[in-house]
Amino acid sequence: MAELKTETITLNMGPQHPSTHGVLRLELVLDGEIVLEVKPVIGYLHRCFEKHAEAMTYPQVVPYVDRMDYLASMNNELGYAVAVERLCGVKVPEKVEYIRVIMAELNRIASHLVALGTYGLDAGAFTPFLYCFIDREKILEIFEITCGARLLYNYIWVGGLSHDITPNFKEKVLEFVKVFRPRIKELNDLLSFNKIFIERTANVGVLPPEVAINAGTSGPTLRGSGVNFDLRKNDPYSIYDRFDFKVIVGNGEMGTVGDSWDRYMVRVWEMEESCKIIEQAIEQMPAEGNVQEAVPKRIKPPVGEIYARTETPRGELGFYIISDGTNYPIRVKARGPAFCNLSALPLMSKGCMIADLVVILGSIDIVLGEIDR
């Protein structure tokens, strides 16, 4: 029998596809069920935040950075505030630093919960998603009590915070941590060590460490590949050098180092480490202090420029800010972690099946608001 003629086809996935986590389009070149090439097409949510920022004063930029990575707004604000404060040389009160760390870590847990829950959905497990959202709801409640908003907070200002914490804040947070710890174990029983889930994710989308570094990935995507690097430890900002916590790295427990399961598991154990940081911060936090004491009346950084980077749930968020000595920044460039992580997708999904592509994409936990800015 003569050889059958085969052809590759180009298939469009997204931008309205539930497993692309937002408005992401993937151009796939397929040989039957096998993906030969992936081309991410981004920009559907582009609003040129960087151009907007040039027309704003420094404090007015904060609500815009909220809307970049809308699942981890506190971490974005912290990154921006750290950058501007370093540029101006503002020293923030101790109490503010502690509240910031607690908020950032709570938001990290909330963001990871969404990532893990929706990852379960991608792999076909519906129930863990509901469990994750119950706990996330409790965190959002704490945020709501503190600053009135549930998603986009405008809470961490340059030099301070918009509101002081409520009197029962500490108890509420400690109670959350106490309830949440066993829930991690529950999630592990439900999803992480579920045989079907492991079959679906282990050995899928392997990203070797050298490739991960060269592609500029960061956060759980980089650590899942076994690279021990966390900006909170390796380039500390705020007061992260005072806390005792472990950097979680992937070890290929279920398959190869750097597979999708490793990236998933790094997030699970990071929630535990965040709990540790929160407990230590609550304990060390000074009771007295005015959270708006150091907020400058007018922010006019000296002529200069800075690149400051912080660790968000997705990785290294960098702000490159240039000041010409006026109230308005000349240039604000945001280096989004998900932007760089997504650019590594073609490298880890060559030769996989379409169904696995969904799993790989879920494991890098993208937020399109930050990729498109």
Positions that interact with other proteins (CB under 8 A) = 42-43, 46, 48, 50-51, 87, 89, 211, 213-216, 227, 229, 234, 302, 304-307, 309, 316, 318, 320, 322, 330-331, 333, 335, 339-340, 343-344, 347, 372-373
CA angle, 111 as apex, 19 and 274 as ends, to 5°?
140
Paired tokens of 10 = 């180009």
**9: helix, strand or coil:** strand
CA of residue 207 relative to chain centroid, distance: 19
How big, in percent rounded to 5, are the helix, strand and coil portions of the chain? Answer: 50, 15, 35
Residue 215 CB, nearest approach to other proteins (Å): 4
Q: Least CB distance from residue 342 to other proteins, whole Å?
A: 8
Nearest approach in angstroms of CB 217 to other proteins is: 9
Q: Least distance (Å) from other proteins to the CB of residue 354?
A: 23
**Integer distance in angstroms from the first to the last C-alpha of the chain?**
55
Euclidean distance between CA atoms 313 and 263, whole angstroms = 12
For 24, residues 6+ apart whose C-beta sits below 8 A from its C-beta are: 14, 15, 40, 41, 42, 44, 342, 366, 368, 371
What is the DSSP code (8-state) at residue 353? B
CB of 51: closest distance to other proteins in angstroms?
A: 5
Tokens of 32: 């039957």
Minimum distance of other proteins from residue 186's CB (angstroms) = 36
Our CB check for other proteins shows the closer of 190 and 306 to be 306
3-state secondary structure of 209: helix
Instruction: Give the Cα separation of 278 and 169 in Å (integer).
Output: 12
Return the number of the residue (47 or 150) whose C-beta is nearest other proteins: 47
Decide: 44 and 25 in contact? Cβ < 8 Å: yes
CB of 25 to other proteins, least distance (A): 12
Q: What CA–CA distance (Å, rounded) separates 279 from 244? A: 11
The least CB distance from residue 238 to other proteins, in Å, is 19
CA–CA gap between residue 222 and residue 228 (Å, rounded): 8
87 or 114: CB nearest other proteins = 87
User: What are the b/e assignments for 154-168, b being 16+ CB within 10 Å?
Assistant: bbbbbbbbbebbeee
Nearer to other proteins, 174 or 322 (CB): 322
